[in-house]
Amino acid sequence: MTTWWDVRDANRPLAFTSNPLARPVTEAHDEAWVRAQLEAPGARFLPLRRLEALVAGEDPVLAWQDGSALRGMAEGAFPVFLGTLEGVPHFAVAVNDLETGEASRFVDARTLAAQLPATEVGILGQARALVDWHARHQFCAQCGAPTEHIEGGARRRCTRCDARHYPRVDPSVIMLVEHEGRLLLARRATAPGNRRSCLAGFLEPGESIEEAVAREVFEEAGVVVRDVRYVTSQPWPFPSQLMIGCRATAVTDAVTVDGIEIASAEWFDRAEVRAAVEGRSAVLDIPGSIAIAYHLIRGWAYETP
């Protein structure tokens, strides 16, 4: 059997993976070391304005700046240490505004994910998730006092009760559900036109990945599944999901949707799904290639059972 992995589009790695930066483990927890990196020759800073990243060029690349980027730093912001590449430290910094060259501009991460080189998309995902987390975690959930960033932004510490807070990553399951050669795709109530995708949802406390898949499919489509199998995963920085891609076999094909969150869920055969992947379907429009859903659906469309 040809599997998902054999037919993946190797020229399009999952967006937001492929981050080449390394964090020196011991050093990254050392405040003095991280501070010294700010002054290191060649240190690079990626400005984000309202979570949009600065890019330059017609085929855009991240517009890394030198320390002068810190002059535009937003109130309460600080340079978040991302890691090093060949010894060169890289930081992300939230800015209010910045004098930039003519050719540079701020662009949102979804748009950039389809345009930047894969390694830069990886860095961008990490930068966006961390900068956003700091902005939304200025206070201690335990006691309400202000928190401060420590260790270059790897965590925060409460200034009153000393509790440590770690960046949040929210695991979510997203799944191919198949039944006798057909694939279940759902239309969210808020989705445009013929856009349909895999069922998906957040994993809840107290459940395994396999249990979360079964629960979500039953909740959203009324379908009972067996044989849940993991396929692949993707970080998704909107704001901080870990997308866990799975597949499962439906026991029956009767579908019941709530009509509120999910407007409809229907079964599509391989010919219909291939037409959608190839952009020649009049009835089915699937997510773009930055989403894990695209890769799951595309893999299913071309695999040979």
**Token digits of residue 208:** 């395994």
- Residue 202 interacts with its own copies (CB under 8 A): yes or no: yes
What mask, x for binding its own copies by CB under 8 A, covers residues 72 to 91? --------------------
Q: Smaller CB distance to its own copies: residue 71 or 229?
A: 229
- How many residues bind to its own copies according to rule CB under 8 A? 54
Of residues 133, 268, 294, 300, which one binds its own copies by CB under 8 A?
133
Of residues 37, 237, 265, 273, which one binds its own copies by CB under 8 A?
237
By CB atoms closer than 10 A (0-12, 13-18, 19+), residue 150 is middle
Contact 243, 234 (CB under 8 A): yes
Binding segment for its own copies among 58-66, 169-177, 181-189, 272-280 (CB under 8 A)?
169-177
CB of 114 to its own copies, least distance (A): 18
> Could you tell me how many residues make up the chain?
305
Contact 138, 76 (CB under 8 A): yes
CB of 176 to its own copies, least distance (A): 15
Q: Smaller CB distance to its own copies: residue 128 or 298?
A: 128
Q: Smaller CB distance to its own copies: residue 199 or 276?
A: 199
Of residues 50, 71, 110, 136, which one binds its own copies by CB under 8 A?
136
Of residues 1, 10, 11, 26, which one binds its own copies by CB under 8 A?
26
Give the DSSP per-residue string, 232-264.
EEEEETTTTEEEEEEEEEES-------SSSEEE
Instruction: Spell out the SS3 assignment of 24-45.
Output: CHHHHCCHHHHHHHHCCCCCEE
- Residue 51 interacts with its own copies (CB under 8 A): yes or no: no
- Residue 232 interacts with its own copies (CB under 8 A): yes or no: yes
- Residue 192 interacts with its own copies (CB under 8 A): yes or no: no
Q: Smaller CB distance to its own copies: residue 244 or 273?
A: 244
Which of 155, 171, 174, 153 lies closest to 163 in space, CA to CA? 155
Contact 131, 60 (CB under 8 A): no
Site residues for its own copies, 87-126, by CB under 8 A, read 122-123, 125-126
What mask, x for binding its own copies by CB under 8 A, covers residues 139 to 168? xxxxxxxx------------------xxxx
Which of 199, 182, 178 lies closest to 258 in space, CA to CA? 199
- Residue 110 DSSP code: H
Of residues 244, 257, 290, 293, which one binds its own copies by CB under 8 A?
244
- Residue 235 interacts with its own copies (CB under 8 A): yes or no: yes
**Alpha carbons 83 and 137: distance in angstroms, whole number:** 21
Of residues 70, 73, 118, 242, which one binds its own copies by CB under 8 A?
242
**Residue 251 CB: number of other CB atoms within 10 A?**
12
User: How distant, in Å, are the alpha carbons of 27, 136, 140, 281 from that of 128?
Assistant: 23, 12, 21, 34
Measured on CA atoms in the order 251, 257, 262, 264, is the torsion positive or negative? positive
Binding site for its own copies (CB under 8 A): 14, 16-17, 19, 25-26, 122-123, 125-127, 129-130, 133, 136-146, 165-171, 202-211, 219, 230, 232-235, 237, 240, 242, 244, 258, 260
